[in-house]
A and B are shown apart, each in its own frame.
Chain A
């Protein structure tokens, strides 16, 4: 049983015109087994939230706390956070030329599990996970994300989630750029992790399509750097038909 607690989180980025506050007091709690969806307009700060929890150096925490089972996440380095059980499937996965997917995955799994997996079982494990995501085994020998299509990058992110079995996973627009088949495959991957373990999931998305495959327990509306409304799955459907206009206007008025 794991709990990620985000309390009154304030985050700024450095711009040419000085520091700019992007997150303005975010409160959010994600527990194992729960699925949360965060929906909000472009530029509202969803990726900033994801990156801040993962520890990207570009984002400066100016206030608030993030804890995982009471441990201070903000005091941890990026890799310590991952080893503590946090996982971020990135909106724009990074290319790492010359580093093969298999080498990358094995190094990562070794770091997170604390010991190198036995080679024989490891190859099997990697192959079957790739197979479940309809990834050609040839990907294992390709450089990390290099020349991958948008959809292939997203599958590769979920492959990592399957292998690393995090306590809390944040999926930043994993659904964007996927066709219907790919969306189904990726969603099934996420659901497998959810079934096999006690993962808590934070899905960042613009669309309800992925929520038809991965049912959220909670939906949070994110506008202008904070959560402005919360509800159950039905809120997502309402957002899909009505948009964010009323929330954006309300946030602007406040």
Chain B
């Protein structure tokens, strides 16, 4: 498996002599490097991205000297290592031991322009038996190389939503690594809508048995967008569970030539190492192609080094929008655009429902509607009528 180059033991040392991606590497072959504005080669002179935190009262926020943090664990690709080395302060959010957050916490990363690269490092520590939902909300316009490190202590439960609601010109490279503790439960939810080029690498390792990781993702690529998600779940300890579910829709513009192509990439790597007996893992990617001028790559990789597992499977499917569904709905009087909206919403519905946060689920559904050219639904549309 040629997932990512691993093994940064010391950050500053690790940066020296690291190979810069050329596009020939397996991990970079789908990525349009010329569109990264150099983020993969250098982040010299990078700005420190501003992160505005709106946290539940139980959570703690600290700014920590990035160089003082222990070396990043998990796979660290060169651009992520460069970004870490260039980050001055890390935003560290802690969910204290046994604390249950009484509200959703939001970290807003608002881009202020694309001219200058920006870097950021966010650490979320969910201490033992804590429970919280944290949202990373990316908006505005940016050339961002971002690192996110997540640690879950014993029995902790953490949901992390990373919402990419960028302006059209944003470029976003992101490493998001989670270390899942004993009997802990991590739920990652990635939702990518905006941006010119987004390449996110969510990775998971387990530090003790009994952990569970769910990686959910939705994305909607329209004309000219490149949205790439490469997940890696590394099962190296026994009796852990993982579930990877990504769904994407693509809508290109056949009239606009090269620039009209909607592009998505999903690569899902799962490694079950020899020691990881009792592993239970499943991954699924589905793509809904709404138009010509769209290309979805979907590559599941499952590498199994032990036979003593509970289950391991993967599935991947990319299909055209079903005209029979459209006909059926239209034959019931529903205009074509609303019928399309129903079908696309329906396609994403099961994943969106997995978030379990009604307010943010609605935000995601609104974003999907927005991609289809609909204004957000009136807030009272599904409420009781006044009389």
A binds B: yes
Give the interface of A toward B (CB within 8 A).
Answer: 54-57, 77-79, 81-83, 88, 90, 93-99, 103-104, 107-108, 111-112, 118-120, 143-144, 160, 164
Give the docked Cα–Cα distance between A107 and B339 (Å): 9
Closest to A109 in B: B333
Number of interface residues of B (CB under 8 A): 28
Q: Contacts of B384 on A, CB cut-off 8 Å?
A: 119-120
Most chain A CB atoms below 10 A, which of B322, B323, B325, B328? B328
Closest to B346 in A: A98
Q: Can you report 14 A-B residue pairs in the complex whose CB atoms are below 8 A from each other?
A: A79-B331, A79-B334, A79-B335, A82-B330, A82-B332, A82-B334, A94-B325, A94-B328, A96-B346, A97-B347, A99-B342, A107-B334, A111-B334, A119-B385
With A57-B327, A77-B330, A78-B330 as known contacts, state yes or no: A103 contacts B342, CB within 8 Å: yes
Apart from A96-B325, A108-B334: 5 A-B pairs, beta carbons within 8 A: A94-B324, A96-B329, A98-B348, A99-B346, A108-B332
Give the docked Cα–Cα distance between A82 and B334 (Å): 8
Q: Contacts of B342 on A, CB cut-off 8 Å?
A: 96, 99, 103-104, 107
Closest to A118 in B: B385
Contact of A98 among B323, B350, B387 (CB under 8 A): B350
Q: How far is the CB of B13 from chain A (nearest CB, A)?
A: 49
Contact of B333 among A94, A98, A108 (CB under 8 A): A108
Q: Contacts of B327 on A, CB cut-off 8 Å?
A: 56-57, 78, 94
Contact of B328 among A83, A96, A112, A118 (CB under 8 A): A96
Contact of B345 among A77, A90, A98 (CB under 8 A): A98
Give the docked Cα–Cα distance between A218 and B349 (Å): 46
With A77-B336, A118-B387 as known contacts, state yes or no: A99 contacts B331, CB within 8 Å: no
Asked if A82 and B347 make an inter-chain contact with CB atoms under 8 angstroms apart, the answer reads: no
Most chain B CB atoms below 10 A, which of A57, A79, A82, A120? A79
Q: Contacts of A108 on B, CB cut-off 8 Å?
A: 329, 332-334
Interface string of B319-363 (1 = CB under 8 A from A): 000111101111111111011001101111110000000000000
Contact of A99 among B335, B345, B383 (CB under 8 A): B345
Closest 5 CB pairs of A and B: A98-B346, A98-B349, A82-B333, A78-B330, A111-B333
Contact of A79 among B324, B336, B387 (CB under 8 A): B336
Give the interface of B toward A (CB within 8 A).
Answer: 322-325, 327-336, 338-339, 342-343, 345-350, 383-385, 387
Q: Contacts of A97 on B, CB cut-off 8 Å?
A: 346-347
Asked if A82 and B331 make an inter-chain contact with CB atoms under 8 angstroms apart, the answer reads: yes
Give the docked Cα–Cα distance between A97 and B346 (Å): 6
Asked if B332 and A143 make an inter-chain contact with CB atoms under 8 angstroms apart, the answer reads: no
Give the docked Cα–Cα distance between A56 and B345 (Å): 23
Asked if B338 and A90 make an inter-chain contact with CB atoms under 8 angstroms apart, the answer reads: no
Contact of B323 among A57, A112, A144 (CB under 8 A): A57
Give the docked Cα–Cα distance between A55 and B331 (Å): 8
Q: Contacts of A107 on B, CB cut-off 8 Å?
A: 334, 338, 342
Give the docked Cα–Cα distance between A108 and B332 (Å): 6
Q: Contacts of B345 on A, CB cut-off 8 Å?
A: 98-99
With A104-B342, A120-B385 as known contacts, state yes or no: A88 contacts B348, CB within 8 Å: no
Give the docked Cα–Cα distance between A88 and B383 (Å): 31
Closest to A111 in B: B333
Asked if B328 and A79 make an inter-chain contact with CB atoms under 8 angstroms apart, the answer reads: no
Q: Contacts of A96 on B, CB cut-off 8 Å?
A: 325, 328-329, 342-343, 346
Q: How far is the CB of B352 from chain A (nearest CB, A)?
A: 9
Give the docked Cα–Cα distance between A99 and B347 (Å): 8
Q: Contacts of B346 on A, CB cut-off 8 Å?
A: 96-99, 143
Q: How far is the CB of A162 from chain B (nearest CB, A)?
A: 13
Asked if A79 and B333 make an inter-chain contact with CB atoms under 8 angstroms apart, the answer reads: yes
Q: Contacts of A81 on B, CB cut-off 8 Å?
A: 331
Closest to A83 in B: B333
Give the docked Cα–Cα distance between A120 and B387 (Å): 9
Closest to A96 in B: B325
Give the docked Cα–Cα distance between A81 and B331 (Å): 8
Asked if A78 and B331 make an inter-chain contact with CB atoms under 8 angstroms apart, the answer reads: yes
Q: How far is the CB of B240 from chain A (nearest CB, A)?
A: 30
Give the docked Cα–Cα distance between A55 and B323 (Å): 13
Q: Contacts of A90 on B, CB cut-off 8 Å?
A: 328, 331
Asked if B338 and A111 make an inter-chain contact with CB atoms under 8 angstroms apart, the answer reads: yes
With A97-B347, A98-B349, A107-B338 as known contacts, state yes or no: A164 contacts B333, CB within 8 Å: yes
Q: How far is the CB of A173 from chain B (nearest CB, A)?
A: 16
Q: How far is the CB of A156 from chain B (nearest CB, A)?
A: 11
Give the docked Cα–Cα distance between A93 and B332 (Å): 12
Q: How far is the CB of B348 from chain A (nearest CB, A)?
A: 7
Asked if A93 and B328 make an inter-chain contact with CB atoms under 8 angstroms apart, the answer reads: yes
Q: How far is the CB of A27 from chain B (nearest CB, A)?
A: 24
Q: How far is the CB of A213 from chain B (nearest CB, A)?
A: 25
Give the docked Cα–Cα distance between A90 and B385 (Å): 33
Give the docked Cα–Cα distance between A54 and B345 (Å): 25
With A96-B342, A96-B343, A98-B347 as known contacts, state yes or no: A160 contacts B328, CB within 8 Å: no
